[in-house]
Amino acid sequence: MKHIHESGFIHLDLKPANILITFEGVLRIADFGMASRWPAKPGIEAEGDREYIGPEILMGRYDKPADIFALGLIMLETAGNVELPDNGVSWQKLRNGDMSDVPSLTWSSGTSGIERDSTGNPLSRENSFNEQSHSSQTDVEVVIEEDNEMLTGQVMSKNLCHPRSGELVNPPQFMIDPSHEQALDRVVRWMISPDPSDRPLASDLLGTEGVRWAETRRRAGATVFEGNWGPADEVLAEDAEMIDV
């Protein structure tokens, strides 16, 4: 987004469907069908999906802060695990910078303690019969066809349901304190301010503590981690390719 804005354009239709991920794990912003050169000419029609449009768009004001507003709602939607409204009271609240209908975007002890397998899926307390058959070390008979000869043998099956590595031992304060000035709740509230002039620039967002912290730890531009605070320290120490992507 910083590159788009500094190149003299505004996107005006930023939403998850228009953010692509390459096989190399690189993010690409797509669909410039509503994009405009900056500053936008009066009278253009570039009203994107109602879930992500800023309040000024409804008044025909198209500028860079509209892209920041849309990105803020994408972050709110992702971190809060909510479906954004396209109308109604909650829709109006978000346009007024009111996030009271959305759960906190900051980690809390009430949501911790979920055990997950190596793929990120939650582990049930009581595994099914099929899960149990895969989660223990058992001898199984295999049949291999090679050169038209049938060979049988005994192999030891792998544990297919091993638990993931633990969480961060000392998470940064901005991750666990919603009142921290760099907490995601505050950053998103800044991005969806009702007054476009109060919203940050793309360069301001890149300077936030959370972005800088992730920049030092990520392995790809589009890495998604299932966990309270992202990858544990020991996970980062492993020499694994695209882990948890």
The pLDDT of residue 26 is 84
Q: Which two tokens stand for residue 67?
A: 């892209």
The pLDDT of residue 164 is 46
pTM over 0.85: no
Domains in the chain, CATH or no CATH each: 2-113+167-237 (1.10.510.10), 124-162 (no CATH)
The tens digit of pLDDT for each residue in 123-149 reads 565 544 344 444 444 444 444 444 444
- Burial annotation 170-203 (CB, 10 A radius, 16+ → b, else e): eeeebbbeeebebbbbbbbbbbbbeebeebbebe
The pLDDT of residue 243 is 41
Cβ–Cβ under 8 Å, residues 190 and 200: yes
Q: Which two tokens stand for residue 142?
A: 């295999």
Q: Which two tokens stand for residue 215?
A: 């920049």
**C-alpha Rg value of the chain to the nearest Å:** 23
The tens digit of pLDDT for each residue in 24-41 reads 778 899 999 999 999 998
Identity of residue 60: G
User: For the range 18-24, what are the long-range contacts, defined as Cβ-Cβ under 8 Å and sequence gap of 24 or more?
Assistant: 19/74, 21/222, 22/222, 24/220
For the chain, the straight-line distance linking the first and the last C-alpha, in angstroms and rounded, comes to 22
The tens digit of pLDDT for each residue in 189-221 reads 999 999 999 999 999 999 999 999 988 887 777
Residue predicted with more confidence, 190 or 103: 190
Identity of residue 18: N
Question: Annotated catalytic sites, by residue?
Answer: 13
Measuring CA to CA, how many Å separate 67 from each of 39, 60, 143, 186, 196?
13, 14, 58, 18, 10
